[in-house]
Structure 1
């Protein structure tokens, strides 16, 4: 297993606070997959308005976190170092549960196709083994 701490993640992807949504990478294989985690804290800035009486992590941010996990897999390939992975599409996205303060969000993105700078990843986010989001993410490396 290959682990990455926050500083090592920042060497691979360009995201920074407050938009870096990965805390650590448990395992990854360049060009193939990444398994990362986000430890969701009540102190997250988005909870101030989403929603003050019932804090819930916005679904679009969970999808973004899954994309960042995929970016670790793609941008850790030697030929992609120093590049950016952009969204090309989001398909078959399903939200199955809420993510709330105190959750440890597991983010797994597996690259299933690549052709030139374009690729596709299957992404699944879980909390305590329960699927909360799944999607097929298309990206372009540029």
Structure 2
């Protein structure tokens, strides 16, 4: 069957059930709640709803809960893993996994707190020797919370 989808056409997203078929992460480290949309071989838009029930808020910080920047980066990496999976047209249940291989140019611009919805926008940049590079932004109410370049590697388990 030939794929006739225009590579600039946005495809519908998918819910947590589909995400859990693709990513190995589980509570408390499953950080993507839903994929809103994606453009094949190009970009993906996912969300994370931050609630006071996040286990990390017990210690970061009592009386002043702030979602850790490193978890924003991890969620961004999970979004790139979802895009990479779709780009490679991997099969659900295959023995492939996308590993977080590195981060460059990370900048944190705003705090993320309980009640925020974080929108992750990730775009494919290039692939070189099995390392995939993506650029990502995390937004809250349209305001940039974090930007970074994320590297992932596809491996067989």
TM bucket, shorter chain:
over 0.9
C-alpha displacement of 1:112: 0.6
Give the structure 1 partner of residue 133 of structure 2. 120
The offset of 1:137, in angstroms, is 0.7
- CA deviation vs aligned residue, 1:105-141 (integer Å, no higher than 9, x gap): 0011111101352110001000000001000011111
* TM-score, normalised relative to structure 1: 0.94
After the TM superposition, which residues 17-36 of structure 1 pair with which residues of structure 2 at under 5 Å, given as runs? 17-36=27-46
Length-normalised TM-score, structure 2: 0.85
Q: Hey, what's the Cα distance between the residues in 2 that align with 1:59 and 1:30?
A: 28
Instruction: Give ranges in structure 2 of 5+ residues lacking alignment.
Output: 1-10
1:1-142 residue pairs with structure 2 within 5 A? Answer: 1-76=11-86, 77-79=88-90, 82=94, 83-142=96-155
* Structure 1: 5+ residue stretches without partners: none
Helix, strand or coil at the partner of 1:71: helix
Measure the CA separation in 1 of the matches of 2:52 and 2:125.
34
Output the aligned Cα RMSD: 1.4
